[in-house]
Structure 1
Amino acid sequence: MIWEVAKEEEGQRLDKYLSEQKDHDFSRSYLGKCIQEGCVSVNGEKAKASLKVKAGDRIDFDIPEQKDPEVLPEAIPLDIVYEDDDLLVVNKERGMVVHPAAGHYSGTLVNAVLAHAGSSLSSINGVNRPGIVHRIDKDTTGLLLICKNDLSHQSLAKQLEEHSITRRYHALVFGKIKEEDGIISAPIGRDEKDRKKQAISYKHGKEALTHYKVLERFSDSTLVECRLETGRTHQIRVHMKSIGHPLLGDPVYGLKNRKDGISGQALHAMILGFQHPRTGEYMEFSAPYPADFQALLEKLRKK
């Protein structure tokens, strides 16, 4: 990767300059390590992370080859809602990462599914994401599809692309929503100020559409059902925040000083429906609220 320092960027430390470039996802600490290992040069010479860049400087970043560790089966209990020769529907618990990635190469849903299904998983998404056709966030609970072969993966991926899969989430959000239902249509992309977050972005974002309806109102919060037409990263969390109703318990997009006694966003993938890839039959499943979501719901009702 190659960059040329603009006049308004002059004076920044090299590691900070690199971390703020928008065409990669590397953290500042990782970039600092790469600089230390000699992977970054300024005007053809190796440089230190503390170097202050100047306007017109040419910066070359030779990205080191990354070798992910082998993903191994782990005997982790799974809440299996449905299973046949083509697919699995599982109810994911809070705190479980869906597939291995940097910092999470064990304890993931994929590790658990490998132990359960062995080699009987689709190969389309490679060795780190066998069987994974869609995902939900680490602290979001609820229903997920796992594909046992490439036929089911191709069929379900097409249904996702065509927005024909039913995905309904229940969420507890801050504030009283006045209307009974609504549609949020706003593109979502990476937050330009914080690369670990998503944000509404009309310049760089991708189309995102969320339908919501009120299920129950409380003194200072609301239970809503959200139906997704698109599946952008953090879509419901970003969209609900954008209309002034962030999710309770959300550590990234929620209210910083509010304590609701739930460790993560109050978001549950409640209903999942799709056409079976082999039979064409429409199938729909639901999962009950996890204990902490239910406890918060009861607390709000009493309040």
Structure 2
Amino acid sequence: MRPHHGVHALRGVRRVNLPDGLTVVYEDRHIVVVDKPSGLLSVPGKGEANQDCVVSRVKALHPESIDQPSVHRLDQDTSGLLVLALTEAAHRTLSMQFMDKLVGKRYIALLDGVVELDAGVIELSFRLDPDNRPYQVYDPERGKSGTTRWRKLGVENGRTRVEFMPLTGRTHQLRLHASHPKGLGVPIVGDRLYGTGTGPGQLKLHAWTLRFRHPETRKPMEFTSPPPF
């Protein structure tokens, strides 16, 4: 087992900052937990230019890994914690934890304006806009429902810092729940789809807490990573 420090998950764990910008937070024979920078894909995209991603870098570090170690994803522009499975058994067990909503995830975001309320629950139905991929649109009839708990952490220079606790895992859920008038009505800073961002790597949305049970030992594990903004 090779734990790496710095997260508040395991005392004495040491973070390993790789030269390519990806941080390995924890690793053993079964799983790898990483801290992904904003602007890096979670999985390979289409075309040769989009093959650099968390999966390709983890597989380079662990040649023994299964071909598809990804268990969950973060948007390219979202930073933060991801767990990947190195074996088929670990992948199966972790995937079931995600399906059964046994994985705890919390995000910190900086919103481009002031939110008056202090906390609440957002529930909106949305779907992909096929004419404007990957943009998601509100659709109460044909969309899939997404639910997010949230709380305000403070206001900084006209921007609101919030914590999001998603109860579902829809594509762009937090970005849409922040920006849509039926949600908070304030986009996340740097959001190039739903706000005023102009390129990758600008989004102020960070997956800062990740909790799950180790797929082999079944022991509870919790990792935290302070947001870089």
TM band (smaller chain): 0.7 to 0.9
Match of 2:96 in 1: 158
Distance 1:219 1:94 in 2: 22
Choose between structure 1 and 2: higher strand proportion: 2
Q: Which amino acid aligns with 2:195?
A: G
Q: Which amino acid aligns with 1:115?
A: A
Residues 1:120 and 2:65 aligned together: yes
Unpaired runs of 5+ in structure 2? 1-18
Gaps of 5+ in 1: 1-74, 122-126, 294-303
**Helix, strand or coil at the partner of 1:251:** coil
The answer (yes or no) to whether the contact 2:38–2:203 under 8 Å persists in 1 is no
Name the CA shift for 1:114/1:213 in 2 (closer, same or farther; >3 Å).
same
1:142 aligns with 2:87: no
The higher-RCO structure (CA 8 Å, 6+ apart) is: 2
1:77·1:112 contact (CA, 8 Å) conserved in 2?
no
- 2-structure distance, mates of 1:192, 1:181: 33
Provide TM-score, normalisation by structure 1. Answer: 0.64
Structure 2 letter corresponding to 1:86: H
Deviation at 1:175, TM superposition (A): 2.1
Cα deviation code 1:128-187 (max 9, x no counterpart): xx1001000111111001101111111111111121111101000122222221111112
Match of 2:41 in 1: 97
Out of 235, 246, 271, the residue aligned to residue 187 of structure 2 is 246
Please name the residue that 2:118 is paired with.
180
1:77: how far off? 5.6
Q: Does the 8 Å contact 1:186/1:209 carry over to 2?
A: yes
| In 2, Cα distance between equivalents of 1:106 and 1:157 | 23
Distance in 1 of aligned mates of 2:201 and 2:223: 25
Partner SS for 1:144: strand
Is 2:175 the counterpart of 1:215?
A: no
Q: Identity rate of aligned residues, in percent?
A: 35
**Is contact 2:192–2:200 with CA below 8 Å preserved after alignment?**
no
Greater fraction of residues in helix: 1
Q: The residue matched to 2:91 in structure 1 has which SS?
A: helix
Q: Given that residues 76 and 107 in structure 1 are in contact (C-alpha distance below 8 angstroms), is that contact kept between their aligned partners in structure 2?
A: no
User: How far off is 1:218 after superposition?
Assistant: 2.6
SS across alignment from 1:207: strand
Structure 1 stretches of at least 4 aligned residues deviating more than 6 Å after TM superposition: none
Q: What does 1:37-48 align with in structure 2 at a 5 Å threshold? A: none
| Partner-residue secondary structure (3-state), 1:98 | coil
CA contact (8 A) 1:92 1:142 kept: yes
User: Which of 123, 126, 134 is the equivalent residue of 1:196?
Assistant: 134
Q: Deviations over 1:42-80 (max 9, x none)?
A: xxxxxxxxxxxxxxxxxxxxxxxxxxxxxxxxx946311
Amino acid at match of 1:167: K
* Number of aligned residues: 207
1:288 aligns to 2:229 (yes or no): no
Name the amino acid aligned to 2:26: Y
- Quick check: which has more Rg, 1 or 2? 1
TM-score by length of 2: 0.83
CA distance in 1, matches of 2:63, 2:200: 34
Q: Choose the corresponding residue for 2:28, options 84, 88, 91.
A: 84
Judging changes above 3 Å, is the alpha-carbon distance between structure 1 residues 105 and 262 closer, same or farther for their aligned structure 2 residues? closer
Kindly indicate whether residue 164 of structure 2 is the aligned counterpart of residue 226 of structure 1. Answer: yes
| Residue among 189, 196, 211 paired with 1:273 | 211
Report Cα offsets for 1:171-222 as digits up to 9, x if no partner: 0012222222111111221126523301222222112111111111134220
